Structures are given as structure tokens and as C-alpha cells.
Chain A
Amino acid sequence: MSATLLGQSILSGIFAGSLYALIGLGMSLSWRYLRVINLAHFAFVFFAAYLTYEFAGVRGVNPFVVALALVPLFFLLGVLQQALILRFNVNEFSSVIVTYGLAIVAEALIQLIWSADYVRYENRAMHGNLALGTLLFPVADLVMAGIALGLCFAVWAVLHFTWLGKALRAGLDNPQIAASFGVPNQRLLLLVAGSAGALAAIGGFFVAVLYTLAPSQIFSWLGVVFAAVLLGGLGNPIGLVAASLLIGVSEAITMAITAPSWAPVVPFTLLILLLVLWPERV
């Protein structure tokens, strides 16, 4: 294999991994801090992607305006979902099933509005490639990777260096004691849920920019994203970035060396080994 081909594969692995991290960040936060394993997160991502397609693509609204509008909208959706989950006292395990039910409904609604056919948002704002030597850098991928990694670091910084991060960890350890020290647990949980929703919106925006959309594809990233979230450690954005890049690059190299159809073996074998040999990690 030529060096260029290998380089280009690694590059595409880095971009794929960045998207896993972007989609996984919200999952990771809600799993760790809300104890909600949110399968509906993937439906949120796709709903945002379809809204991007609809407004930026079909109706010609400026894509950045669309992105700015999606973020608060999905923040609210995230808060709403969490409010319901808290209201009905859904435990960690039931959350998988309840949010799966939500995802089924969302998938059906998306199909109802946009049909089951593939649609593609042709954007002009982030078009073309940058060339560096023999390597090509697609602009849209670069922007996405920059924002994904930036967001992961930002979330990490907030969790580590602010009062908010401490309050969240305290509330997770013991809500009663945290509350007696003035931690507004309930509102913090809603804030995390809203942020996870907003992150889903950003992820969805880039899914629309980079990929062809179909309602049946909602769960196509489920496996890799789960693997990245768990490998990286719940609620650990830096670990998530590392795991996502590891998975993305190892997939890309597997594809380049063998065949694309072998790609899933690497990340899932990693995940299985992690779970069996090192279960304390998660």
C-alpha cells in the first residue's frame, strides 16, 4: 500500500472518529450524569440532520442560521425528555427501553414527513478540498473535526475547572448531601440533558452536511458510538476523543488493508475485550 493511500485512510479515520466523538459526547454525559442510556439521542441527531436538510437544503436558509436555531431547540427537547424521565422515575435499565420506544416513534415520524427515500443536502458553504502535499482535506470534514474536538475539550474543561463540574459529581455521589450544600441537583440534571440535546443538534447538522440521509439509518452509528463512549469512560470527554479516534483510525486501516466489510471487527472486538477483561473501567 502506498504511503499516500495509508495517509489518506488514516485521515479519513480521524474524521470518522471525530464524528463518533461528537455524537458520543451527549450520550456519554447523559449516561454518566443522568444515568440515562439514551437511545433517543440517535433519533435526535437524525431529526436535527433532517431539519438541516429541510431548511438549509430545500428552503435555502443560510446553514449557519439553521445551526444556530437548532441548538436551542434541541436543548429544549433534551430538557423536556429528561423532565419526563425524572417525572416517571425511570431507572437506568428502563431508560434503554423507554428511549428505544421514543426512537421508534421518532423514526416513524421522520419517515412520515420526509419519506423513506435517501435525501442529500448539497451544501455550498463548506465545499471542496484543501490539499497538503498529496493528502486531501475535505473542508466540511475539517470544520466538523475542529468543532467536535473543540467541544470535547470545552466540556472537559467545564467539568474539571468549574463549580458546575464539582456540583455534578457531588450530586452523582450523593444527591441528598449535595443538596444540603446548596447544589440544585434537579436543575443541573436538566442542564446536562439540554446540553446533550444541543450536542445532538450539532452532530445532526454535520451528519446532514457529510452524509446521505435515510430514516432507516438512525441506528447505523449505535454500535461504534457505544463502543467509543464505553472505551473512553463514561463522562470523560478526553477519553472519548481518544477512543473515537482509535476506533475510527483502526476501522479505516482495517478497511484499507482487508475489505470495508471487515471494518466493524476491530472496534467491537476491542469493546468485548474491554468488558470482559477490564470491567471496572466502565
Chain B
Amino acid sequence: MSVSMSSQTFLPAHAPAKRWIAPALLLAATIVFVALPAFKPPPFFESLLYLLFFWIALATSWSILSGFTGYFSFGHGAFYGVGMYTTANLAGTLSIWWCLPIAALLAALLGVAIGAVVFRVRRLRGELFALLTLALTIVLATIILNTPIDGGPGKYLLGVQLPVIYENSATTIYLMGAGVAMGSLAIARWVQYSRLGRGLFAISDDEDVAEVLGVPTYRYKLLAFAISSGIAGVAGAVQAVFVSYVTVSETFSGTIALYVILMSVIGGARHWLGPAIGATFVTLLNFTFVSGDSALAARIVIGLALILATLFLPEGVVGLFRKRRLAHVEPAPEAAPAAQPAPVVQPETGAVATAHPQRRPILRGEGISLAFRGVQALDKVDFEIREGEILGLVGPNGSGKSTLINVMSGFYKPDAGRLLLDGEDIAKAPAHHIAQLGVARTFQIPRPFPRFTVLENVMVAAMFGGASMRQAASSAKAHDMLAFVGLADRAQALPSQLNLHQRKFLELARVLASDACIVMLDEVLAGLTPSEITSAIAMVRRIHGGTRTIVFVEHNMRAVIELTDRLIVLNQGRLIAEGKPREVMDNPAVVRAYLGAPDAEG
């Protein structure tokens, strides 16, 4: 088992015994930093620590959006700049204690405004998001430069009244820096282990799947953006007082964003502590080598560190430690869940009530149409899915089966038609909403979150799907479901360590953990060996458990006939037959669709 791949699991840090360690350490560090000025350290020491705090706050806040979700922003300087200019313009008239929250608010609002537009566009991920944030920073800088916010020559912060806590106001700035840095670390840690964090990491691994499993991706990204830019705003507001002279070219120079990225990547952008480690490394390096050529040497070291970290430490320095720890932990959980005599639990049927004898319709499609670039993938399809049945959805390749599944799970929005789930039209509803209503699906080619363990993959479904459980409960549920599909002993493995058969069963475990009332299985048998197919068919039966509604898309006709209560057949986007499996298979239209029209018939 490749240990090196397991660095991303965040379960070990969640072990109850260790839960209080990080907050306790953060609290202790805060107390030390706050008490430090009483011991009269040399002045340079305070300013060095302040710089460290500043970069820790900026880098940590950056990674709350960009590190956790993978949306790398090159525009972090914009939010920091909003904070700078808030203080620069308001500190003359308002107390600094008003400036800080206003700066946070303005920066967060800017983040949300940008996100509200950008996050709606599916293609704006990865490098395009990076580019967009870069361009926005430049536009914002130009506007500030040319309006009274700056006006060109820069702003002096004269006569800013700072409360004197120890002996001079420089120490007050130091204390504010300490507060912002420790606060941002606390927030980042909280985010990482919260429900929000799980969602953000899922977005980073596979956003579309996260959405289909019920993660409200749009809202979560906005929230992360707001937190991230808000903290950057506060850090900028304090920094303005520290430098006491604010210019556009310094504030919005690309180097701020690039330094923040560099620190986070070196330290590890997917962990709350990573950016702080990177910030400390880079700041100390820059501080140690300040003069002339040695400063250049420091820059070369930083550049090389960035390259080496990207190539060899994808999880940063933090990843290095976690690998170590997992190397110790790894063998144990292998046995733990499996040691219990893995009871074959009957999955709870969740929202599904006891099956009605007459099988009332639970989901009804009316006139569903969807075209892609002129190809009519679905053409006025009417169908219904009845409570507790196993409905087969068949048709030749390209007939629209997967498209229909994608429409029902909210992955695609139909051009026309209604989709009534218990009377509510979900045709235009976001996918996560449909998932929360209890509609779950598998993917034809399994799409587990690659950097989550098998257990965590299932937990996401339990937390965000119809079951919407708390984390602790979802862990228990996930263990149960893994036992149910026979993957209990692989709970701590990564998806890449499973074979295709096991990955398909992982998909099933996810669907079960969500307590879905309608389960759509998209070609779960494809690519399996005959003996694996037999066990998969048995598994589908057990998932059904007599009561759960299942939509079964399959090419394997033996399985279809064996399993399904009713069949609907699609051909070229049209529904061509519906009824009992045997009868439908003898329907001439169906035979034609599969085999073509015999010549004799013309």
C-alpha cells in the first residue's frame, strides 16, 4: 500500500484524544506573544515578529479559499489592498477599532461580489480563475489610483491615534498583528475540520461530484471567499498603520499575491498550518539575508524552494510530517473496522416509507427535452418512477440514458419539461438540492475523490446527501455502509488503491450512505467479470431491500431481466417502450432499435 499517497487523510488529526492539542497550542502561543512586550525585547524583534504575523495572516487566509478548494487566486493583493486603503482613508476620522471591521467587511463584500459572478461560470476553474483574479486586481488598482481613494501620490497615515497598551504604539501594531495571525490560524483550523472544510476539500478533488453528492458548492465557495478576503482585509488594515504610507504600486504589485502563493505551496496549501510554516520560512530567509548579494541569494533559494516543493512535495512541508505519521498509523485501521464481525446490515431506508402495494409514482418527468449543439439528446421524454420499484432504463449506445440520469440528478438542466419529485419541480434545481431531497446516483466510470480515503469518500455522501448527518454520525454510517458492500477492510485506503470492482462498490456505498430514496445506478456492471457481475447483481438486490426505489441503467440484458420490475426504453432521445421487462423486450420497436430493421420488412 503506497503510504506516500495517503498524506491527505484528515481523520488521524480528528482522533478525540488529539482534538484539543492544536487549539491549546494556539492559545498558548497567543498568550506568549501578548505577554512578550512586558519583557522588553529589542525593538527589531517585535518588528520581525510583526512581519511574520502579517505574512502568516495573508498566506493562511489565501489558503482558506485557494488551498482548500484548489481555486488559486492571483488576486489576494486586491483584498489586502482594500484593507490598506480603508485604514488610509478612514483612520483620520474613525478609531482604528472601527477601521478593522470595516476593512474586513469591505474586502469580504468584494470577494463575494466577484465570486457571485465568477463561480457561476463552470469553466472558470484552475488557471482561468487565477487569470481572472489577476486582471481584477489590476483593474481595481487602476481605479483606486485614479480616484480620490488614492489620487496618485499615495496616502500618508498621519495622526492615526493608536491606543497605547504597553509603552509605545509600535507595540500596539505588533499586538494587532499577533491577533490577526493567531485568529486566522484558528479560523483556518476550524474551517478545515468543519463541515465546510469537508465540502471545500471535496470541491478541490472533484467539484461536479461534490455537487451531485449534495455539497452546496456555490455557497461554500462564496463563504470561503468571504472568509479568505475578509481576513486579508484586516491584515491590510493593520499593515497600513505599520507602513504609514500607502501607494498603489506597492499595494497592488503582483508580488504580494505571488509571495502568498509561494509560502502556501512550500508549506502545504491544503492544511491550516502549512501556509504559516511557509510564511515563517520565507520571512526568516528574507530577514536573515537583507543586504545586497545575500538578499539575491535568498531570492534564488526561495525560487528554487518553490520549484522543488511543487515537484516533490505536492502537499508542502506539512505533507512530509503527515506522511510520517500515517506511516505509523497505517497498519492499525486496516484491522480495526474489519475486526468487528462486520454485520451485513440492512441499510436504513431513509425517507422511503413502507412500500405501497399499488406503487405510487415518486418521480415524474413530463416532456423532458435537452439538445447539445443541435443533437437532440432527449426529445419530449415522459416517464414515471414508482416508489419501491426497480426500474430498468435501457437503450442502445447514445440513446440518452446517461443524459436522462444526468438530468434527474441535476447535473444537466433540461431545455424544456418538468421533473416532479413528490410534486416539487426539480428540473431547474441545483444538483446539491436534488441530492438533499434523496436522489442519489453512481457514475458509469467511478469518480471517487482521489485524495480522500475510502471512508471519507463515503462520509461526504452521508454528511451532504439526504441523510445530512453530523461528522461523527457520518463516520459510523460510512463504516456500516462499507461493511455492507464488503469494503470494511479498505476504509483507510485511497481510491487509487482499489480495483475497478471495488471502486464500483465504493460508489454504491456512497449512494447508500446518503440514505437516498431514489438510487440511480449508471452501468454498475460495465467492465466487471462474470463472477463480479453475479455478486454485483446480488448487491443491487440487497440495496433495494424490497423498498428502495432503484433506476437501473444497464446493457447487460440478463441482469436487466433478472432484476427489474419494469422497463423503459430510449432510442435516439425518445421513449419508445415501457412495461414489463419480458414484454418490452419482445416489442418490435425495441427489437428494431437494437438490431435495426430487417430488410424484408422494408
Contacts and interface: CB of A to CB of B under 8 A. Distances in A.
Interface of A: 37, 88, 90, 92-94, 96-98, 100-105, 107-109, 111-112, 219, 222-223, 226-227, 230, 259, 261-265, 268-269, 271-272, 275-276, 279-280, 282
A267 B431 CA distance: 36
B123 A223 contact: no
B326 interface: no
B327 interface: no
B142 interface: yes
Q: What are the 8 closest A-B residue pairs judged by CB atoms, nearest first?
A: A104-B303, A101-B306, A105-B303, A101-B307, A279-B123, A108-B299, A268-B135, A101-B303
A260 to B, nearest CB: 10
24 contacts: A88-B311, A92-B126, A96-B127, A98-B306, A98-B310, A100-B258, A100-B306, A101-B304, A101-B307, A104-B303, A104-B306, A105-B303, A105-B304, A108-B296, A112-B296, A223-B134, A227-B135, A261-B152, A263-B142, A265-B142, A265-B143, A272-B135, A275-B131, A275-B135
A104 B299 contact: yes
Interface in B138-162: 138-139, 141-143, 145-146, 152
B121 A276 contact: yes
B62 to A, nearest CB: 13
A276 B113 CA distance: 13
A276 B117 contact: yes
Contacts of B128: 275, 279, 282
B165 interface: no
B interface majority secondary structure: helix
B307 A93 contact: no
B528 interface: no
B142 A271 contact: no
B142 A112 contact: no
A275 B126 contact: no
Contacts of A223: 134-135, 138
A153 B122 CA distance: 34
B311 to A, nearest CB: 5
B250 to A, nearest CB: 12
B310 A90 contact: yes
B72 interface: yes
Contacts of A269: 139
B173 to A, nearest CB: 28
B130 interface: yes
A275 B132 contact: yes
B310 A97 contact: yes
Contact of A112 (B122, B126, B293, B310): B293
Contacts of B134: 222-223, 226
Nearest to A277: B121
Contacts of B146: 259, 261-262
Contact of A261 (B117, B138, B145, B303): B145
Contacts of B311: 88, 90, 94, 98
B254 to A, nearest CB: 6
B145 A108 contact: no
Given A108-B296, A111-B296, A268-B138, A279 B303 contact: no
B364 to A, nearest CB: 34
**Interface of A, helix, strand, loop or mixed by DSSP:** helix
Given A219-B254, A261-B142, A268-B135, A92 B127 contact: yes
Contact of B306 (A97, A107, A272): A97
B320 to A, nearest CB: 18
A118 to B, nearest CB: 16
B131 A93 contact: no
Contacts of A226: 131, 134-135
A102 B127 contact: no
B310 A94 contact: yes
Nearest to A269: B139
A261 B127 CA distance: 27
B283 to A, nearest CB: 16
B306 A93 contact: no
B261 interface: yes
B575 interface: no
A275 B124 CA distance: 7
Contacts of B135: 223, 226-227, 268, 271-272, 275
A107 B295 CA distance: 12
B114 to A, nearest CB: 10
A104 B309 CA distance: 15
B118 interface: yes
Given A261-B145, A262-B142, A264-B142, A276 B124 contact: yes
B124 A105 contact: no
Contact of A98 (B138, B254, B297, B307): B307
A50 to B, nearest CB: 15
B329 interface: no
B234 to A, nearest CB: 26
B300 interface: yes
A261 B151 CA distance: 10
Contacts of A102: 303, 307
Contacts of B261: 97, 100
Given A93-B126, A97-B261, A272 B136 contact: yes
Nearest to A87: B311
Contacts of B306: 97-98, 100-101, 104
Contacts of B516: none
Given A92-B127, A219-B254, A222-B134, 19 more contacts: A93-B72, A93-B127, A97-B262, A97-B265, A97-B306, A98-B306, A100-B306, A101-B306, A108-B297, A222-B254, A230-B131, A261-B145, A263-B142, A265-B143, A272-B132, A275-B124, A276-B124, A276-B132, A280-B123
B300 A108 contact: yes
Contacts of B124: 275-276, 279
B302 interface: yes
A265 B310 contact: no
A223 B257 CA distance: 14
Interface in B281-329: 293, 296-297, 299-300, 302-307, 310-311
Contacts of B123: 279-280
Contacts of A222: 134, 254
Contacts of A272: 132, 135-136, 139
B265 A109 contact: no
A97 B74 CA distance: 11
Contacts of A94: 310-311
Interface centre among A94, A101, A111, A222 (most CB of B within 10 A): A101
Given A93-B126, A101-B310, A280-B123, A264 B139 contact: yes
A155 B72 CA distance: 32
Contacts of B302: 104
Contacts of B121: 275-276, 279
Contacts of A265: 139, 142-143
Contact of A109 (B118, B126, B300): B300
A104 B122 CA distance: 32
Contacts of B254: 219, 222
Contacts of B117: 276
B130, B132, B262, B310, most chain A CB atoms within 10 A: B310
A111 B297 CA distance: 11
Nearest to B258: A100
Nearest to A230: B131
A178 to B, nearest CB: 23
A280 B373 CA distance: 13
Contacts of A92: 126-127
A179 B122 CA distance: 32
Nearest to A89: B311
A93 B136 CA distance: 20
B118 A276 contact: yes
